[in-house]
A and B are shown apart, each in its own frame.
Chain A
Amino acid sequence: MKQWKVFNQLNKSTRANVITIGVIAIIYVLCQLLIAVGALSNLMQGLLVPLCYYSILAVSLNLTVGILGELSLGHAGFMCIGAFSGAFFSRLTENTITSPWIRFPLAIMIGAIFAALFGGLIGIVVLRLRGDYLAIVTLAFGEIIKNIINVLYIGIDGSGFHFSMKDSLSLGLAKDGDIILNGAKGITGTPNDTTFTIATIFLIVVYLIITNLVNSRSGRAIQAIRDNRIAAESVGIDITKFKILAFTLSAAMAGIAGVLYSHNISTLVATPKNFGYNMSIMILVFVVLGGMGNIRGSIIAAVLLTLLPEYLRFMQDYRMLIYAIVLIVMMIFNWNPACIAWRKNHTIKGTLLSLLKKNRKEA
């Protein structure tokens, strides 16, 4: 009882944090138990880490789209930068830093920093553009990153790094040389350092970063810019600073997701499927369906929408079709004025109450 009292005294946002993290922890323990007794299929086990990095991506994009209110269609680009810079570092230091406990956190830091640099850069561009123009620039950015990585060759030998944008031969590596980034063939042999445990920890860390930010001075400034830019300026909010801050932070966390991704697979290549605009749009869909600005909702949407196609696997051919229809129907249900009015009159609580009344009358 005493504990409950303490819990109720916490302010609303802290309470929400405790609940969300508690639920994540419970799900984590449940999954581990299921794995231990062998009740979780290989397919599902393989999905655990992706669920975490998709959630991180959704949460981090929510910062730009939901909290800052700027539409970004290039989030996969930041993930791509994080994935490649992190994997590059791990491949490079695999033999010098043998302990994954040191190497992997460093890789994550590097992925986050590189992605953040590009996030800041896009943030500067963003200052001059609004709305749909911004959307198209971020989309273009994602495509540029993907294209450039596909023609980039980097190798190392005794004399240091070699770069090329033509092919691996023109790197001119010595015999003992090692091609780390091999153009469209990407990076192979990245150590598989990502585990479900680490991915869960980072999901919680990212979640805390965003929710704490939102409920702090800087987070309020970012939301003020979203709600009314002119009013925010009139009370002295530095628009430039906070827009760049939001973009940088959001990109850094997408970078973390990228590092988790690249250390969970054996061969890292940049294809339209994993880092193209389709991926960016997928993340945006998580954010919108989870509720703009609703961090917890982003995680729920990311998990459900990743599991949905898997559960529809028995109807293999139709699953993406159903996915598309679900998306359209949900958008119309959520946003159509007539549907909004209908929902107001037909809430679950309201329906239950009216049913109760009816029963009582009959009795």
Chain B
Amino acid sequence: MHPETVHITPYRSHAWVLITLLTFTVITVTVTWIDLSALTVFIALLIASVKSFIVLTYFMHLKYESTLFRVFVFIVLFIYVLVILFTLADYAYR
């Protein structure tokens, strides 16, 4: 391990990430006060996905790890999405 290749994230960046995540939390809570019926779940999941992307990228340092880590995470999430789609399709068309 060469210390000079290590990426040190400044405290400020972490603080900004936290503020962004808290902002999204406020949005996800306030959005439920408006009745959007079918869209509610979609918006909630969309915001949750954006928040997890931020956590994975910055807090979990995926941005600064080797490509291998990102490929692994992508494959796992891809497989999980496939499992969801196949199961839901099975329920919808049986």
| Real binding pair | no
Which residues of chain A have a CB within 8 Å of any CB of chain B?
none
